[in-house]
Amino acid sequence: MSTPTLAQSEELIFREARLLDERKFEEWIDLYVEDAIYWIPAWRDDNTQTQDPDKELSLIYYRGRENLRDRVDRLKSGLSPASRVHPRVAHLISNVEIEQKGQGEAIVHSTFAVHAYDPRTDRASCHFGHYLHRFRSADEGWKIASKIVRLANDLIPTVLDVNTI
Amino acid sequence: MKLYNLSALIDDRPTDGVFRINRSLYNDPELFHLEMQHVFEGGWVFIGLTSQVENIHDYYATRIGRVPVFVGRDKHGKLRCFINACPHKGARIVSRTSGNARMFVCPYHSWTFDSAGSCKNVKWEKSGCYAKGFDEEDHNLKEIARFGEYRGFLFGSLTPDVPSLEDYLGESRHMLDLVADQSEQGLEVVPGRARFTYAGNWKMQLENCSDQYHFTSTHSSLIKVMERRARGENTAAVESSLAGADFWKGSAEGVAGGSFILENGHVVTWGRMDPNPSLALFDRYSDLVAKFGKERTAWMFNMRNLTLFPNVQVAVNASTQLRVIRPMAHDLTEMETWCLVPKGESAEARRLRIRQYEDFFNPTGMAVADDNAVYEECQAGIAAQEGPWLQGHARGLGGTVDGGDAYSAMIGVRPSRSIAGPSQLADETLFQGYYHEWIKRMGAVLA
């Protein structure tokens, strides 16, 4: 349990993807530790991203799992015109690589492409980029302590939510 | 050129209490083409902030209507705006979004220009056997016809035949002052921008920024989240500045807000927000009162969504946002958005403002995506031309008055029309400001 194997890392990342694809949002939130960071930096210019969330803009910056619950409550509320009809989503993730392992912690890179089809508009979109997960060991196994999403194509068509990235 | 019959597009009969817009105004590709020509390329538009080009040789690229331009600071510190196209073959000179360059070299045949736009080198000119005609031509980068600044906001016009910038902005300058006066050092944008598109007409964004009627409907999922946080179920989130105000709640008593039509298509809708710690500006409250007095300071804290026709909006409500509208087609609009902040505010105020901004204003947040979705529902519904007239510009028609009111008097702004009332008023007459200016700019194609 002190360090995850590549297979264990992939298992956690793939499970997160599947839970989002299957819209099992409560189970998705349970993958995160309570003080988890969920961060999608913005682009500062053509080729550099913002680095300091307290001084620069992010697309999403959350410190604390309950923020994800806000998002999930909203997604499921039936009150949000952008999410009344849920998109059909497929997360494709590859290039999983463990950068660093410590006692009870690991930093894991991966590359994603998330395809989403929105029945409301009959439009398909694809967002792609890189994930950086930090895992922490907990009583129930490995959990996500932070997730950084580096979104490459940031001209966002209408809506981009936690289930489509 | 096809002439449009104005009375078939806009039914404006004040004496009968009627103001109606024809659906085709949002849904006609030919009309859209004319709008680009006459509204966006035929008059003043917003093109950026001076804080984007603070240093000598800084530049950034943008567009005026369909025309690519770039704004740069030359070696003497003078701001200039050029058409972003080489005189030689028309290639874009600047292809980065922003940067710093002493010289601009065309990527195609290396014609070279300095930061004042002067052509410094036509490659192999002497051996090029050019004839007299070429020598007599101006090879410099073309500056746009009119360019000016007001308190850090930059505006340009491709057409020389426009009023002075001062006259174009008119009374709306008071509303810009309320933002610019928040710091002696002026304004800037937080690094990092968010861009998004929606499949709808640009005028939907124009109107929605001034629409208080939609908030409790379109954004009811966000209101639920705010309620959840108020119950202490998510203590990890920053408090929304809207949670501390009631101008948007149907239950607000007395005058909760109102709207002003300023001249030249500029309008503002406002709501009462009392100074409180959920507002990033709050830690400067006593300084501001000392400098500007209580009434003017109260206005700095009020919710106010300002539109400068046709393409920029300063939304001061859940945080502060600068929105630039870029129409792409009659049914496609691109938005470029920034968190607009007073320079030199405290680190804590900046953090609060940024978190509130992301929550509400980002396309990845919990409010704007819902606006985008309803614009698309409007665009889809408007395709049905069953009875061309919309009923969305009628609220307030029985209450709007000429000139200002007690609230405009507090900041010395002189609206051409105004209205104030309880939150359930949710005025729609301010949209007339947009359409009266639209008619003015589109005059050449209207019969």
Residue A2 has pLDDT above 80, yes or no: no
Q: Which of B236, B354, B373 sits opposite A82 (nearest CB)?
A: B373
Q: Where in the sequence is the domain holding A27, given as residue range(s)?
A: 6-125+135-143
Q: Which residues of A touch B199 (CB under 8 A)?
A: 121, 123, 158
Residues 36-65 of B with CB under 8 A from A: none
Nearest-angstrom CA–CA distance, B142 and A94: 48
Q: Which residues of B touch A67 (CB under 8 A)?
A: 234, 236-237
Which residues contact residue B416 at a Cβ distance below 8 angstroms, ignoring those fewer than 6 apart? B261, B262, B263, B402, B403, B433
Res B182: pLDDT: 94
Distances, alpha carbon B109 to alpha carbons B100, B104, B122, B132, in Å = 21, 12, 8, 21
With respect to residue A27, please indicate whether it lies within any of the assigned structural domains: yes
Q: How far apart are the first and last CA of chain B?
A: 12
How many domains are contained in chain A?
Answer: 1
Q: Which residues of B touch A71 (CB under 8 A)?
A: 366
Q: Are B153 and B168 in contact (CB under 8 A)?
A: no
Looking at the DSSP bridge assignments, the partners of residue A105 are A102, A136
Return per-residue pLDDT of chain B as tens, 447 residues.
Answer: 668 999 999 999 999 999 999 999 999 999 999 999 999 999 999 999 999 999 999 999 999 999 999 999 999 999 999 999 999 999 999 999 999 999 999 999 999 999 999 999 999 999 999 999 999 999 999 999 999 999 999 999 999 999 999 999 999 999 999 999 999 999 999 999 999 999 999 999 999 999 999 999 999 999 999 999 989 999 888 888 888 888 888 887 789 999 999 999 999 999 999 999 999 999 999 999 999 999 999 999 999 999 999 999 999 998 999 999 999 999 999 999 999 999 999 999 999 999 999 999 999 999 999 999 999 999 999 987 777 999 999 999 999 999 999 999 999 999 999 999 999 999 999 999 999 999 999 999 999
Q: What are phi and psi of A75, to 5 degrees?
A: -60, -40
With respect to residue A148, please indicate whether it lies within any of the assigned structural domains: no
Q: Which of A46, A61, A156 sits opposite B96 (nearest CB)?
A: A46
Residue spans in chain B of domains classed CATH 2.102.10.10: 45-149
Residues 230-259 of B with CB under 8 A from A: 233-237
Nearest-angstrom CA–CA distance, A63 and B36: 43
- At position B52, the amino acid (one-letter code) is Q
* Tokens linked to B390: 């919309």
* Tokens linked to B272: 């009462």
3-class SS string, B111-131? CEEECCCCEEECCCCHHHCCC
Res B247: pLDDT: 87
Nearest-angstrom CA–CA distance, B170 and B176: 11
- At position A47, the amino acid (one-letter code) is N
Nearest-angstrom CA–CA distance, B203 and B39: 12
Q: Which residues of A touch B231 (CB under 8 A)?
A: none
Nearest-angstrom CA–CA distance, A20 and A27: 9
pLDDT tens sequence across A28-67: 999 999 999 999 999 999 999 999 999 999 999 999 999 9
Q: Which residues of B touch A122 (CB under 8 A)?
A: none
């008119």: which residue's tokens? B170
Q: Which of B192, B197, B199 sits opposite A155 (nearest CB)?
A: B197
8 Å CB contact of A65 and B372: no
């995506």: which residue's tokens? B369
Nearest-angstrom CA–CA distance, B273 and B247: 7
Res B242: pLDDT: 86
Which residues contact residue B172 at a Cβ distance below 8 angstroms, ignoring those fewer than 6 apart? B262, B264, B266, B268, B306, B308
pLDDT tens sequence across B310-347: 999 999 998 999 999 999 999 999 999 999 999 999 99
Res B187: pLDDT: 94
8 Å CB contact of B221 and A83: yes
With respect to residue A162, please indicate whether it lies within any of the assigned structural domains: no
Q: Which of A58, A73, A158 sits opposite B369 (nearest CB)?
A: A158
Res B1: pLDDT: 61
Which residues contact residue A73 at a Cβ distance below 8 angstroms, ignoring those fewer than 6 apart? B224, B225, B228
Residue spans in chain B of domains classed CATH 3.90.380.10: 171-445
With respect to residue A164, please indicate whether it lies within any of the assigned structural domains: no
Burial label for A100, CB within 10 Å (0-12, 13-18, 19+), is: exposed
Q: Indicate the SS3 state at residue A156.
A: strand
The predicted model gives A1-17 an average pLDDT of: 91
Residue B135's H or E segment, with its range, is helix B132-135
Q: Which residues of A touch B339 (CB under 8 A)?
A: 57
Burial label for B67, CB within 10 Å (0-12, 13-18, 19+), is: middle
8 Å CB contact of A81 and B373: yes
Nearest-angstrom CA–CA distance, B66 and B229: 44
CATH of B45-149, one of 3.10.20.30, 2.102.10.10, 1.25.40.10, 3.40.50.10490: 2.102.10.10
The predicted model scores a pTM of: 0.96
Among B221, B319, B346, the strongest candidate for a mutation testing the A interface, having the largest count of A CBs within 10 A, is: B221
Nearest-angstrom CA–CA distance, B207 and B305: 11
Alpha carbons within 13 angstroms on the beta-carbon side of residue B55 total 6
**Overall fold of domain B171-445:** Naphthalene 1,2-dioxygenase Alpha Subunit; Chain A, domain 1 (3.90.380)
Alpha carbon of A36: minimum distance to chain B alpha carbons (Å): 10
**Can you point out the beta strands (E) in B163-256?**
187-189, 194-198
Among A38, A52, A68, A158, the strongest candidate for a mutation testing the B interface, having the largest count of B CBs within 10 A, is: A158
With respect to residue A61, please indicate whether it lies within any of the assigned structural domains: yes
With respect to residue A67, please indicate whether it lies within any of the assigned structural domains: yes
Nearest-angstrom CA–CA distance, A128 and A126: 7
Identify the closest residue of chain B to A60 by CA–CA distance: B358
Q: Are B379 and B373 in contact (CB under 8 A)?
A: no
CATH number at A14 reads 3.10.450.50
Angle at A14 between CA A9 and CA A20, to 5 degrees: 135
Identify the closest residue of chain B to A163 by CA–CA distance: B364
* Tokens linked to B45: 């538009």
With respect to residue A158, please indicate whether it lies within any of the assigned structural domains: no
Q: Indicate the SS3 state at residue A161.
A: coil
Q: Which residues of B touch A55 (CB under 8 A)?
A: 190-191, 347, 350-351, 354
Q: Which of B233, B351, B372 sits opposite A66 (nearest CB)?
A: B233
Identify the closest residue of chain B to A56 by CA–CA distance: B191
With respect to residue A121, please indicate whether it lies within any of the assigned structural domains: yes
Nearest-angstrom CA–CA distance, B99 and B301: 35
* Tokens linked to A91: 């997360």
8 Å CB contact of B366 and A71: yes
Q: Are B93 and B141 in contact (CB under 8 A)?
A: yes
Res A103: pLDDT: 80
Q: Which residues of B touch A155 (CB under 8 A)?
A: 195-197, 334
The predicted model gives A140-153 an average pLDDT of: 96
Residue A74 has pLDDT above 90, yes or no: yes
Q: Which of A43, A57, A158 sits opposite B373 (nearest CB)?
A: A158
Nearest-angstrom CA–CA distance, B206 and B265: 11
Q: Which residues of B touch A62 (CB under 8 A)?
A: 236-237
Nearest-angstrom CA–CA distance, B317 and A39: 24
- DSSP, res B50: G
Count of residues making up chain B = 447
CB atoms closer than 10 angstroms to residue B391 = 10
Q: Which of A60, A70, A123 sits opposite B225 (nearest CB)?
A: A70
In chain A, DSSP finds a helix count (H) and a strand count (E) of: 3, 7
**Whole-number percent of chain A with pLDDT over 70:** 99
Distances, alpha carbon B4 to alpha carbons B24, B31, B42, B329, B444, in Å = 11, 8, 18, 19, 10
Res B315: pLDDT: 96
User: B193-225: b or e for each residue (b if 16 or more CB lie within 10 Å)?
Assistant: bbbbbbbbbbbbbbbbbbbbbebeebbbbbbbb
